[in-house]
Amino acid sequence: MRGLRMDHPRRGIADPDLAFPEALLQLRDTIPTITNTQEVPISNPTITPYNTGLNGVNQPNNMLFTDILWWTLGGLGVMILLIRIGQLAWAKLRLVSAMNTKGRQQHFWKVKQWSWMPGLKRSLIYAPLWKKRHNREIQLSSAVNMGTLPSRLQAAVLLVYLGSNLAYMFVLDWQQANKYALCAEIRGRSGTLSVVNMIPLIIFAGRNNPLIGLLNISFDTYNLLHRWMGRMSVFEVLIHFIAWAVVQVADDGWEGVKHKILYDRFISSGTVGVVAMFVILVLSLSPVRHAFYESFLNTHIILALVAFICTWIHCVSATVHGGLPQIPWVLAIFILWGAERFARVIRLAYANRSSRGYTTATVEPMPGEACRVTMHLPRHIPVRPGQHAYLRFAGLKPWENHPFSIAWFEHTYSPSSLPTYSSSSSSEKHPPGTTPTSTTVSFIIGAHTGFTRQLYNTARASPLGALTLRAAFEGPYAGHHSFDSYGHVVLFAGATGITHQLSYIRHLINGCNDRTACTRRITLVWIVRDHEVLEWIHPYMEQILRLPNRQEILRIKIFVTRPKTAMGVNVLSTSGTVQKLPGRPNVVTLLAKEQDEQMGAMVVGVCGPGGLGDDVRGAVRGMQGLGTVVDFVEESFTW
């Protein structure tokens, strides 16, 4: 019977009608098993769940540390704002009480300050990182520039912010037995922090950053914070990528990594963003950035946009329902970036186009390899002392724009049928019964390399001796330092740094005459290489020297460091208030003399090479604690 198992008499096996199908079934079960083992790896529950998505990611802690970072930045901003409000209130009180007082009668404000303030200025607020060097560039050779060092206060802020980033990134569950789960937690934390840092990164990069005026912090300081936040963001995104790659290699090998990068939109977009940010980091290294700054700037903007777009794609294409939780942050980045760019476009359109026409510029080559640029704006643009603007010229790399201090400005007026009122803070008299219709703005631009060299060579080659062309004026920016409440103002300038100081001089002399400023003594110290560069500011200085009461208020000392002919001390005015001297100034001696003759509170301002700024900074620090109020303001742009 077929239902019984019977041995075959010759083979000693079961009935072949039953045994053969059974063997096929066994073979069928064996073959697929071998195939799966060799070609399609089995998912490893210890590894696979942690190579994408939010598995293993400690999202509550990520959000906690994000909130702490935001509260840290917000708290710092509020603290600085309160200090700023206190400074403004104190300066306003000093201005109101002393603007009608003679210089020698401002003794109260000459000495009145908190007992701990001089030590704070000397040891923290004005202190360089180490001994003296701050804005003097570190030159390894004539071609290799390592940039500058932060001040002690800037370094403290950077240490707190960057140190907290590192601490938050490595507050992890180190007791986790599964190292791939730990990698997933690192991946989530580092990616979150990298995107969080992009928001202040984009705010601090903008020249229309509202915090500049609100907190009285210069764009140069925000630029420093931007660079270091960018480096931290790149470091964190590299950790993010490495943490993902470690798990992916363990799960699917390097071929699996390659396949994901090439064919998985989530991974490929993230990889392109990481590469873009890494290239930005390499190009932003100081020697590269200084050697090819104009190319770096354009490449930097393009790569940053690529990184932001890839971050957006990476977040929205995640397998997590609704995308990653960082999507609103990326959206905020695009809104902030777009708003800042839109503000630039509005400024450009408003300043350079009106019913009277377009902006034109006259470029005159000057001795000492410089240009005097006079821009004729088709509408009235208010300008304050200490401001700068970004300039573009048609036919001379119009896609590039560079900042230059405003040396001089004048407004054109037309009769008005409406009552007009002159602003007490204006540096130029407003004729009654008139309305300002247009503005002329002047700059002194030294010829270095790239754009400035091309501008100088083009102007010099002009057969008419000057070049007239279409141009664009974007600004003015900055100008948040007011010297009106100081009875004594000392201004140091090196070479083209004179442009920043000129606007203060006219404004303060007019303010003294109108009794809208406390200033009763101004000392200008200008360091130049040769006599010929005095031509740069000749038309502006002539107007200043003709101002009422100028001889009682203004003292000018011009130091010529490399005269082509031998010279002694020359007195250039009949009143003896303008002197030309050979060599370099002894900053400590000069400031000691000014402190002996101090009238009211004193401010010392400097604009010029980094070495000059460091010398003046060191001298002002040495003046702290000697019984008088001496403040310090440095105008610089470290790129």
* Other CB atoms within 10 A of residue 38 CB: 8
With bands split at pLDDT 50, 70 and 90, how would you rate the model's confidence at 574?
low
SS3 category, 606: strand
DSSP sequence for 543-591: HHHTSTTHHHHEEEEEEESS-SS----EE-STTS-EEEEES---HHHHH
- Does residue 485 register a pLDDT over 70? yes
- On average, the pLDDT of the chain sits at 86
96, 587 in Cβ contact below 8 A? no
Alpha helices in 359-497 (DSSP H): 451-460
What is the pLDDT at residue 428?
58
Tell me how far apart the alpha carbons of residues 30 and 24 are, in angstroms, rounded to a whole number: 10
Tell me how far apart the alpha carbons of residues 512 and 528 are, in angstroms, rounded to a whole number: 28
Tell me how far apart the alpha carbons of residues 590 and 490 are, in angstroms, rounded to a whole number: 10
- Report in angstroms the alpha-carbon separations of 476 from 243, 343, 376, 438, 544: 46, 13, 14, 15, 22
Average pLDDT over residues 199-210: 93
410, 439 in Cβ contact below 8 A? yes
SS3 category, 402: strand
What is the pLDDT at residue 431?
67
600, 105 in Cβ contact below 8 A? no
What is the pLDDT at residue 524?
97
Residue 58 has which token pair?
């400690």
What is the pLDDT at residue 335?
96
Higher model confidence: residue 54 or residue 7?
Answer: 54
Q: What percent of the chain has pLDDT over 70?
A: 87
Average pLDDT over residues 323-352: 93
- Does residue 269 register a pLDDT over 70? yes
Higher model confidence: residue 496 or residue 53?
Answer: 496
Average pLDDT over residues 185-213: 93
Tell me how far apart the alpha carbons of residues 606 and 526 are, in angstroms, rounded to a whole number: 10
Return the exposure string of 384-408: e unless at least 16 CB atoms fall within 10 Å of the residue's CB, then b: bbbbbbbbbbeebeeebbbbbbbbb
What is the pLDDT at residue 604?
97
What is the pLDDT at residue 10?
39
Phi, psi of 544 (to 5 degrees): -65, -45
Average pLDDT over residues 449-456: 89
Residue whose tokens read 């300050």: 113
Tell me how far apart the alpha carbons of residues 197 and 205 are, in angstroms, rounded to a whole number: 12
Higher model confidence: residue 158 or residue 638?
Answer: 158
Tell me how far apart the alpha carbons of residues 238 and 90 are, in angstroms, rounded to a whole number: 47
Beta strands 578-582 and 554-560, pairing class: parallel
What is the pLDDT at residue 348?
95
Tell me how far apart the alpha carbons of residues 638 and 609 are, in angstroms, rounded to a whole number: 10
What is the pLDDT at residue 416?
62
Q: How many residues does the chain have?
A: 639
With bands split at pLDDT 50, 70 and 90, how would you rate the model's confidence at 385?
very high
Q: Which of 283, 616, 290, 614 is nearest to 448 (CA)?
A: 290
- Report in angstroms the alpha-carbon separations of 349 from 231, 283, 352, 394, 397: 34, 32, 6, 15, 19
With bands split at pLDDT 50, 70 and 90, how would you rate the model's confidence at 15?
very low
477, 207 in Cβ contact below 8 A? yes
With bands split at pLDDT 50, 70 and 90, how would you rate the model's confidence at 571?
low
What is the pLDDT at residue 396?
86
522, 486 in Cβ contact below 8 A? no
Residue 564 has which token pair?
């082509």
pLDDT tens, position by position, 544-554: 999 999 999 99
Beta strands 467-478 and 488-494, pairing class: unpaired
Residue whose tokens read 């105008």: 635
- Does residue 133 register a pLDDT over 90? no
Tell me how far apart the alpha carbons of residues 313 and 317 are, in angstroms, rounded to a whole number: 6
* Other CB atoms within 10 A of residue 77 CB: 14
Tell me how far apart the alpha carbons of residues 353 and 387 are, in angstroms, rounded to a whole number: 21
pLDDT tens, position by position, 270-315: 999 999 999 999 999 888 887 788 888 889 999 999 999 999 999 9
Tell me how far apart the alpha carbons of residues 323 and 317 are, in angstroms, rounded to a whole number: 6
- Does residue 543 register a pLDDT over 60? yes
Average pLDDT over residues 36-49: 55
Report how far Cα 544 is from the mean position of its chain's Cα atoms: 33
What is the pLDDT at residue 602?
97
- Report in angstroms the alpha-carbon separations of 166 from 69, 159, 194, 368, 621: 12, 10, 11, 49, 34
- Does residue 61 register a pLDDT over 80? yes
Average pLDDT over residues 568-590: 82
Higher model confidence: residue 100 or residue 10?
Answer: 100
What is the pLDDT at residue 8?
41
What is the pLDDT at residue 291?
78
With bands split at pLDDT 50, 70 and 90, how would you rate the model's confidence at 164?
very high
List CB contacts of 220: < 8 A, sequence separation 6 or more: 636, 637, 638
pLDDT tens, position by position, 508-524: 999 999 999 999 999 99
What is the pLDDT at residue 43?
58
Tell me how far apart the alpha carbons of residues 274 and 187 are, in angstroms, rounded to a whole number: 13
- Does residue 403 register a pLDDT over 70? yes
